[in-house]
């Protein structure tokens, strides 16, 4: 069992930066791949980024590539999402999620691939 808690959201102007953190409980954090998803008002939850258990591989949605960076510190049981050059369209509730299984292809972009979820943190980008 893994419990996840996001923090670091808030209100920022367009072009600004935020760093989200996701703290995980449990001793097996390093066994999980981690992901970030987001859900804007009136829209479905969408994939943002993922990182493998070792941190050796990352993958990003096209909409955030080059602006967002996912990283993890297994010693601190924490995964991060550094968000730069924020745009109003980045406004959403951001969720972190943990995934125990490896999937070939792009199934890791599907929220159903993830086993545990945090409660989310609001990010609002003003124009």
pLDDT of 105 reads: 81
End-to-end C-alpha distance for the chain, whole angstroms: 40
Q: Is residue 6 over pLDDT 80?
A: yes
Q: Read off the pLDDT of residues 34-73 as tens digits, 9 standing for 90 and up.
A: 999 999 999 999 999 999 998 889 999 999 999 999 999 9
| Pairing of the two strands 58-60 and 46-51 | antiparallel
Q: Tokens 């972190």 belong to which residue?
A: 96
Confidence of residue 102 (pLDDT cuts 50, 70, 90): confident
Residues 6+ apart with CB under 8 A from 83: 17, 18, 19, 20, 64, 67, 68, 90, 123
pLDDT of 26 reads: 79
Residues 6+ apart with CB under 8 A from 42: none
DSSP-assigned letter for residue 55: S
Q: Is residue 29 over pLDDT 90?
A: no
């Amino acid at each position: 069992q893994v419990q996840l808690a996001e923090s670091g959201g808030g209100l920022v102007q367009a072009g600004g930066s935020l760093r989200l953190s996701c703290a995980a409980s449990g001793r097996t954090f390093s066994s999980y791949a981690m992901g970030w998803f987001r859900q804007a008002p009136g829209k479905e939850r969408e994939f943002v980024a993922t990182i493998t258990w070792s941190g050796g591989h990352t993958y990003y949605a096209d909409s955030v590539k080059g602006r967002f960076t996912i990283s993890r510190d297994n010693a601190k049981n924490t995964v991060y999402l550094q968000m730069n050059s924020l745009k109003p369209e980045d406004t959403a509730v951001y969720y972190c999620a943990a995934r125990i299984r490896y999937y070939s292809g792009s199934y890791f972009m599907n929220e159903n691939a993830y086993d545990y979820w945090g409660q989310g943190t609001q990010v609002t980008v003003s124009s």
